[in-house]
Structure 1
Amino acid sequence: MISWVLSNHWYTCYNIDMYIRTTVRKNKNGTQTCYVQLAHNTWNPETRRSEVQVLYNFGRAENVDRAGLERLARSICRYLGPDELLRFEARRDYGTEFGFESSKPFGGAWVLQGLWKHLGVDRILTQLLKERKFQSPVERTIFALVANRALAPMSKRAVEEWVAQDVYIPDLPEIPLHHLYRALDFLLEAEESLQYQVFCQVSHLFNLEVDLLYFDTTSTYFEIETEDDEGLRRKGHSKDSRPDLPQAVIGLAVTRDGIPVRCWVWPGNTADMSVVQEVKKDLVGWKLGRVITVLDRGMASEENLRYLQRAGGHYIAGERMRAGKNTVEKALSHPGRFKTVRDNLEVKEIVIGDGEARTRYVLVRNPEEAEWDKAKREETLDKLKLELARIGELNGAPHTKAVCSIIAHPTYGRYLKTDKRGQPRIDKDKIKAEERLDGKYLLRTSDDTLAPEDVALGYKQLLQVEDAFRTLKSTLELRPDHPSGGTRHRLEDRIRAHVLLCWLALLLVRIAENQTGQTWRTIRAHLQRMHVGEFQFPTARVHQRTETEPDQHQLFKALKIPQPPKILNITTSDCRIT
């Protein structure tokens, strides 16, 4: 057994055969010197007795670093788990007159609640709830659902058990399942006002630059075979490579700092280009002032671009370089030198046409990507040559299935042509045309005041949306019928409410990442080591958290969230003290 004597108290941590002991020696002058040692007992088979073996001498008792010994004890208990750490700290604080009941993770919920309150989401929901006469704690319930998505995504049914047994959320010891669904219904009713008010709070608190918004869409599929006749679950172009399953389309508008300011949900057969006008209309309604919308190539139709310029709006849009468009060909062949800017980018400004018909382009080149494109093409051509050798010469025979397949191949077909006999050949002119595009992308903008560098870097930040989608799908498990990510939602309202929960969770996660410079996965791992233990005393029940670790202290400091009190609450037979 290992026992520690610190500050005149004995602590038993774990059942192993090491312990701290003290020995006293008498000096010649009659004084005594006390020494502290780490020892354990060994069995001597010859004497058939247990003997003490000293493993380490800490030195004279008055010189021993007691704080260091306590840190060592806490480190051992932390390795053994939060329960042992809580037992150790409770024995240090209270002696031994208590019963340890259980412990729950607490740090993650505490930080999320701190961000939740700092953003004023609790106040916004409370204000929106004033006209409703709910008996259940709707704001606390919505927070629990959002915290679950960020900390341990699971089904709505499982959240009921998670709140009761697997997490400590202040002022929410439990939550019945019907309260969860009632809160989801309210969340959807308050969608428009909630998103707008949260955006206003976030942009004010963090001084966000909202003149440049990035918009993109993704899809999330459902594990069902039959699509809805009407509603969200419809088959369409799948970005998850599951065209066989019904899906919904999710839209996200993100600031240049990666903060999601609004989300949308559309039926799964909705084309990207058809949603731009709705997005523009919704954002203009927020009176954001000068807004430059950044769009990917898939949404840059002429109709959409004209619509974005209404009411003084502007756009930065990617252009398809292989579409054969006349102005694009002129831009790609336009003479002039590239100018090097930051982030390993080179830019060249190009204006095609005159007067109202003029079009402003910015051609961007990334030297590193150019090398990668070249190496990838050479690898593809080597494989293509092998495929052509396998097919062999047709000698005027009809096309085989293999020939049709390789000509129609999305990658190989880019470098092929067929001769008069229908024989597939590598086209050197097509290879040269592809070489011209290595590491380049072409942007089109309606704003003449933006510097070419800002146009290039602005479009590059569209990756923030893609990163947000990755977080939604992996960390927050967006898919509504994911086995651990949500109930198998069938009702359209439930699906929309589920996406709103994911948006709120992503908002908190992104703010935490921006302020700490760490990934949410790392932040969550550090915070979830802080537990709250429940202890039963003869006259009271106490909830006490573990000590703050250095990593946790740094996170609290970076996020400007105060450390939680050591004692969360005390319940006596007469009252409850928090």
Structure 2
Amino acid sequence: MLTSEYGTHCLHVDTTAFSVSGEYDADFDSRDMTITYGHPKDGRWDLKQFVLGMATDQHGIPLFLQTFSGNESDKKTLLTIITHLTENLQHPSKVYHIADAAFYTAENLATLGTHTFWISRVPATLNEVKDLVAADLVLQPCADDRYRYAEHASEYAGIPQKWVVYHSAPMQEQQEKTFAKRLENDWKKVETSLRKLRARAFACEPDARIAAEKWLQEHSQFCFTSMDIQVITQKKTKKRGRPKAGEPVETVYTVSAEIEHDAKSFEEKRQKLGRFVLATNDRDLSPDELLANYKDQGTVERGFRFLKDPSFRVAEIYLKKSSRIQALAMIMVLCLFIYAMTEFRLRRNLQETGETVTGQTKKQTQKPTLKWIFFRFRRVRELRFLEGEVVTVLVTNILSSAVPSPILK
């Protein structure tokens, strides 16, 4: 039973891959997992790997872990984790299982049905999402003034859902930095496509004009600055040189065109940067709650960063049995549990007492990371002075705005 002390109503699910060293042959294979090549998130395509799946609450406290084969698909692993969670963890109120877009498949949604509540980002590859993101929507302000939203009812995989289109000002600002680079890449691709159109020979002028119009429809972000149909007389034999007297020839038509970016299309596309779609099967959830719950997905990602941090002192992994790899994963996640629980209690005590600490940005905060607190205590010393029967304890080098005072025992 999940306790309500920590407000555990959001379970954030994600996976990451750990590369392994050494030779792993077929003898290692077991029913539980296989060490094999997959999609490495650390860029080490030369190493085999295993996948670690984990679920945390919104405070980053890990509640579940499971190891998978190195080539296991996220679509399957995320469903497996959520299924185990629903079978083994209970909570008196609603529990939301939160995952990224890899979870959002028709098979997964149909498997969970309507009784297990979930929140997910909808893949941008779905046609319905493309249409929503590109549509002219009336966006309402969120409680967080960096976001605006528009609600949309959907029924995907036979499951009635609430979709919410969000516009994020920070995301738009970030995407605009790469927007110009994407336009440059698009321009190169379009120029290649246009050269192919110019090289085609058509039997009649109408065919050439139809091809030009079709090309323009397929590249709607561009427009013709000039377009003409040229008439060319050429040999039927395709040999070089001018046709000789009496040699059979044919008349063909080619497209001669120059292009530029469509200014209107360019601006519309730029204005719609920073949009994304979140979905949930709890249609009573408000857009503000939906966004707030999903944004905490970063807690499980921060947990993975903790496990992969060099300071964790886990370097090259080489264990000959799957049970030993599973044991190592358990120890690592237990360390994360202690770290996350300590950090949660530290932050809760700061909120209860109304006190703050100086954060890494030199601003006062009630949500410091535990790693930062450890860093601040790196030079703290405790000095003990014995005067007769009285022991005086002095703590020095505390990095705070307050002047340390002696503590008498």
When normalised by structure 1's length, the TM-score is 0.47
SS at match of 2:124: coil
CA offset at residue 531 of structure 1? 7.5
291, 300, 321: which one pairs with 1:491? 321
The yes-or-no answer on 1:523 pairing with 2:321 is no
Q: In the superposition, relative to structure 1, how do residues 551 and 315 fare at CA in structure 2: closer, same or farther (>3 Å)? A: same
CA distance in 1, matches of 2:155, 2:185: 42
Letter in 1 for 2:124: M
Letter in 2 for 1:499: A
340, 347, 350: which one pairs with 2:149? 347
SS at match of 1:341: coil
The yes-or-no answer on 1:368 pairing with 2:166 is no
Partner deviation per Cα, 1:27-69 (whole Å, 9 max, x = no partner): xxxxxxxxxxxxxxxxxxxxxxxxxxxxxxxxxxxxxxxxxxx
Letter in 1 for 2:102: G
CA distance in 2, matches of 1:210, 1:506: 17
Aligned twin of 1:501: 331
102, 111, 125: which one pairs with 1:307? 111
Q: In the superposition, relative to structure 1, how do residues 447 and 510 fare at CA in structure 2: closer, same or farther (>3 Å)? A: same
CA distance in 1, matches of 2:38, 2:141: 41
CA offset at residue 424 of structure 1? 12
87, 105, 125: which one pairs with 1:322? 125
CA distance in 2, matches of 1:377, 1:390: 20
CA offset at residue 214 of structure 1? 1.0
SS at match of 1:288: coil
Q: In the superposition, relative to structure 1, how do residues 226 and 504 fare at CA in structure 2: closer, same or farther (>3 Å)? A: closer
RMSD (CA atoms): 4.3
Letter in 2 for 1:292: Y
Q: In 1, are the aligned partners of 2:11 and 2:95 still within 8 Å (CA)?
A: yes
Letter in 2 for 1:319: V
Q: In 1, are the aligned partners of 2:159 and 2:281 still within 8 Å (CA)?
A: no
Aligned twin of 1:292: 96
Superposition map of 1:245-260 within 5 A: 245-260=47-62
Q: In 2, are the aligned partners of 1:221 and 1:248 still within 8 Å (CA)?
A: yes
Partner deviation per Cα, 1:317-376 (whole Å, 9 max, x = no partner): 11122332x36625753743322321622122112469x764311111111321321232
The yes-or-no answer on 1:551 pairing with 2:381 is no
Superposition map of 1:396-435 within 5 A: 396=199, 434-435=269-270
Aligned twin of 2:363: none
Q: In 2, are the aligned partners of 1:339 and 1:348 still within 8 Å (CA)?
A: no
Identical residues among aligned pairs (%): 19
CA distance in 2, matches of 1:262, 1:476: 23
Q: In the superposition, relative to structure 1, how do residues 280 and 372 fare at CA in structure 2: closer, same or farther (>3 Å)? A: closer
CA distance in 2, matches of 1:548, 1:266: 48
CA distance in 1, matches of 2:61, 2:276: 25
**Larger Rg over CA atoms:** 1
CA distance in 1, matches of 2:400, 2:187: 59
Superposition map of 1:39-58 within 5 A: none
Q: In 2, are the aligned partners of 1:374 and 1:435 still within 8 Å (CA)?
A: yes
CA offset at residue 275 of structure 1? 1.8
Q: In the superposition, relative to structure 1, how do residues 493 and 463 fare at CA in structure 2: closer, same or farther (>3 Å)? A: same
Letter in 1 for 2:294: Y
Q: In the superposition, relative to structure 1, how do residues 291 and 475 fare at CA in structure 2: closer, same or farther (>3 Å)? A: farther
Aligned twin of 1:274: 76
Q: In 2, are the aligned partners of 1:363 and 1:443 still within 8 Å (CA)?
A: yes
CA distance in 1, matches of 2:16, 2:145: 27
Aligned twin of 1:209: 7
Q: In the superposition, relative to structure 1, how do residues 232 and 528 fare at CA in structure 2: closer, same or farther (>3 Å)? A: farther
SS at match of 1:551: coil
Aligned twin of 1:166: none
Partner deviation per Cα, 1:273-311 (whole Å, 9 max, x = no partner): 11233212321222234221111011111121233335x
Q: In 1, are the aligned partners of 2:13 and 2:82 still within 8 Å (CA)?
A: no
Structure 1 residues without counterparts, runs of 5 or longer = 1-195, 398-412, 534-545, 555-562, 567-578
Letter in 1 for 2:9: D
Q: In 1, are the aligned partners of 2:113 and 2:159 still within 8 Å (CA)?
A: no
CA distance in 1, matches of 2:398, 2:173: 40
CA distance in 2, matches of 1:549, 1:465: 36
Partner deviation per Cα, 1:482-531 (whole Å, 9 max, x = no partner): 15xxx632321121111111111112222333315333333233445468
CA offset at residue 393 of structure 1? 5.9
Q: In 2, are the aligned partners of 1:220 and 1:250 still within 8 Å (CA)?
A: yes
Q: In 2, are the aligned partners of 1:211 and 1:288 still within 8 Å (CA)?
A: yes
The yes-or-no answer on 1:457 pairing with 2:292 is yes
Moved more, 247-256 or 345-354: 345-354
Letter in 1 for 2:110: R
The yes-or-no answer on 1:233 pairing with 2:68 is no
CA offset at residue 441 of structure 1? 0.9
Q: In the superposition, relative to structure 1, how do residues 336 and 383 fare at CA in structure 2: closer, same or farther (>3 Å)? A: closer
CA distance in 1, matches of 2:222, 2:15: 33
The yes-or-no answer on 1:446 pairing with 2:281 is yes
Q: In the superposition, relative to structure 1, how do residues 446 and 331 fare at CA in structure 2: closer, same or farther (>3 Å)? A: farther
- The structure that is helix-richer by fraction is 1
Structure 2 residues without counterparts, runs of 5 or longer = 201-218, 224-253, 348-366, 384-392, 402-406
SS at match of 1:465: helix
Superposition map of 1:60-71 within 5 A: none
